[in-house]
Chain A
């Protein structure tokens, strides 16, 4: 399972930061409702509107965001993938067996699978990919802490291998559903060392293979006619897929309305109603994925003091935010789960809309005339000095900043710090920030969200962005990974929710919604099956899959 720097505004439009992609979540509602009597037809080119382009499509090095994962899902096959019930089921892998103590997992690959370049899929390929990924300073961050330095993956034979995670984890396979599970051709990976530009031309085992790519314009994949899955899973109908990165949501909307796109994804809630109103469009919206929240750097004054963190939460007008920026779509968030989720903790509510409370806390804090390590005073005329940073320039991001400033200015002297997208992620990853809007969580397997939460993930670059370390929390996380019973697991997860809340490192704002919109010509996204015939999710946090998709003329 791979984590990537991420963040940005909930409904952020043109300048939305790459979306967090830790792990899958509940399947969205079917993206299309193809009447049963219609029989799939082969042929046609699907034009996909993506919210961003990618630097490269190298699962071992590229920070794959939603757009990247969507493209990757077409050229690569994951070892495991989620079925509609949220279990990780074998895909490229044939089977996996844990040892009694869940410390060793023996995985068997499917026989006779070849990459687009003809290289056969073998244990060595998987191991090579694992090692390269683990040693990548960025993509490796989410892998390194969980495996021993040596013999993390041991080859048994050409198709069999053993995974030796550091700790027992009953849900280990979910780690192989995303970037770490997308197996790339070893030949290609070798070639990459010589010529990094090949990152633009991925080679996997997937139902589609790379055809051509113009950065920031269009990337074209064509059907892989000797795809291993054709017989066991089912035929791939589309002749080709064209991915168009269209960063501006309005433009994306126009394009699909002018029939310049067949399908798109977006988080811009302003567009949702437009889509619903258009009879020729089929829209599915899912807000069970990530949450949008204010993320606070607990390692840096003044927010190293929990009172100030709490004050910020209290000062924030969550309802106002929802009214202004969610266009009545989606739901306000109190925690990382929606009430629909079995893990939802009804006792936890996110405070807010309480300026007086905030003022009181700030008064108390500033009363102590605090200074940071450098001796800089943290308060000026009774208000806490803070910096709010965002990636811009983006009209929406600025509006949001203005809104927060309006909330906070009674108790805080807010400095605006508009960063280029790169710098914003930078400083978040390196802990050079006070408060920043962020989007995260919502992993299909809540256990997989641990990378954002554990002490071990604080370092030079921290995936634990708030840099908040709590042994109790880490203990909870271990319980979640190895529960005595499913019920106990639910309990622990709900405890974790409470723990998160009490740390005041996050101010939960909204459950962010992904909409997947297609024209009525697009069918079958949701008819995906696993080799064993389990029905598979058709979208994960805006990530789309097209193996089973077909176009009616």
Chain B
């Protein structure tokens, strides 16, 4: 690889999806879990995908990695890895990518680790498969990995079973497994949700640090904007299978466009708030993926909804900066937005969303 290649490979996206659609056949009909999502992640970059349950964030990550079952699933659009189309690879072809190129961390380490297999083996097996190491080499490496993820007395852990470890340690083990073959792309699916608050931060620390050291790209799936805030370069907010706002983290927080994003933000616990204060939860339920509402999918729950929203679906709009896009007719900051705010405040309905009393 020449310098320039290297530079280019730095610039051009490592993973890119173009209008990816993932639909499930259900008895009730077609569920549009992911409905035309285009994202890009460059080498060493991290993208946070944020949304409520059922927003399609998990499905998106799995679609990219090609982990979804073959039958009963309709896939469209293209997924590119290093510029090559991998969207239509068979499981067999993906095997060469899984582990070595891409890896994934799951939400619940208890259910995601094989309960009847020793930790050491669970880590080493992918080393042996992908890097063709011998059993002993692999174990040695595994021990090192455990050490890297800060597990005390790694040597002993190798011969323990998952149920003998604490929740945090299990998650570290899973990270070790993911790291094992030095993947370029790491998917972390709600890596901290199942853990208690004290450990969450540590794990996220560990993740971003590993990412840095290994110059990995990271796709961090979570329902909690607060989580991604500190750890991602860019954030894509998903709702009802679509990306509704995408921007570099700072921009997103500073200059929120999408009312949904605003709502999410307002549901992050903030230190500058009196602890007794009540958090806003967004009224209503996420949209039905089988027959989604006509028009803007968030409209039914949107405080600033207008007729247009209910009838027409908004396209992706450019915000001030080119890397900031959103789907909304009346984004935060628009005249209509303020107009409606005033009404609401008068009715006193916005108190909650202001989070003050």
> Is there direct touching of A and B in the complex, by C-beta distance under 8 Å?
no
